[in-house]
Amino acid sequence: QGLKSLVTTESPKPDPIFGTSKHAPGLPAADAYFGTNKVPDLQKVFQRSDGLPVHLKRGYPDRMLYRTTMALTIGGTFYCLVALYIASQPKNQ
């Protein structure tokens, strides 16, 4: 019987679901799902030299997300320092 060869000489059979290049009847073409290309517009926004860092270029939502992240970071640091201080105190028995 022996070992099977790793390289097959026959062509693979097409997958019954994904093996066809025909569109299903009654469905729109695939390009209808993509919408418009927004990359050139976003490149204009992000490459503008206005002195702002990239993570703040899109305006108010970016500023609020940045401020929330900074507040949580500073609050978490403060909380950890207080917890470490309380944990380092000797216990009275």
Single-letter residue type at 32: A
Cα–Cα nearest to 30, from 38, 18, 14: 18
CA dihedral 60, 62, 63, 65 (to 10 degrees): 120
Q: Is the pLDDT of residue 83 over 90?
A: yes
User: Are the CB atoms for 66 and 58 separated by under 8 Å?
Assistant: no
CA-to-CA distance for 86 and 79, rounded, in angstroms? 11
CA-to-CA distance for 88 and 90, rounded, in angstroms? 6
- DSSP E strands in the chain: the ranges are none
Q: Does domain 52-92 have CATH number 2.40.37.10?
A: no
The answer to whether the pTM exceeds 0.75 is: no
pLDDT tens by residue, 1-58: 566 666 666 666 655 565 555 555 665 555 555 678 888 888 998 888 988 888 888 8
CA dihedral 50, 51, 55, 57 (to 10 degrees): -20
Q: Where are the domains of the chain?
A: 52-92
